[in-house]
Amino acid sequence: MEERITLTLKEIKRLKVVKMALAKQLRCEKAAEKLGISERHFYRILNRYKIDAEQMLAHVSRCRSSPRRLSAEMREQIRILLEKEYADYNSLHLLGVLKREHHIKLSYSSLQNIRQELGYSTGKSYAGLCW
């Protein structure tokens, strides 16, 4: 069974420029300029291509989760605390409580994302307000 590699438009452009440079249709300095990278970096890309062809032009981090991603255990702990004790807290207040009382450090946006995934209000709704 053959392996499929999906490339973005940027990676396809990079592939074309690398092939042109290998075919001596384009000088390396012009190729680097065309891609908006340094000549030195272009040589690294060229060497990677010679070793492993199109696969090396796909971004190395593709299909990997971020090393900064909150663990599933941490998300579960926050979910339990949110459901049992802090359902009526807004995100900013909850952030302070988690840090102070439970020694859980996370960003405001991460907490907002968790609340949104669980179906809790993120505190930005103005639907019930009368002006």
pLDDT tens digits, one per residue of 116-131: 888 887 655 444 444 4
Characterize 66-84 residue by residue with b for buried, 16 or more Cβ atoms within 10 angstroms of its Cβ, and e for exposed: eeeebeeeebeebeebbee
Q: Which two tokens stand for residue 119?
A: 């179906």
> Is 85 part of any domain?
yes
Q: What is the pLDDT of residues 2-43, one digit of tens each?
A: 666 677 788 888 889 999 999 999 999 999 999 999 999 999
Same domain, 87 and 49: no
For 30, 52, 89, the CA distances from 94, given in Å and listed in that order, are: 54, 49, 6
**Centroid of chain to Cα 66:** 6
> Is 63 part of any domain?
no
Same domain, 104 and 80: yes
- The percent of residues in the chain predicted with pLDDT above 90, rounded, is 32
For the chain, what is the mean pLDDT? 82
> Is 124 part of any domain?
no
Asked whether 32 and 38 are in contact (CB, 8 A), the reply is: yes
Give the single-character DSSP code of 54: G
Q: pLDDT tier at 47 (50, 70, 90 boundaries)?
A: confident
Q: pLDDT tier at 55 (50, 70, 90 boundaries)?
A: low
Span 47-56, average pLDDT: 75
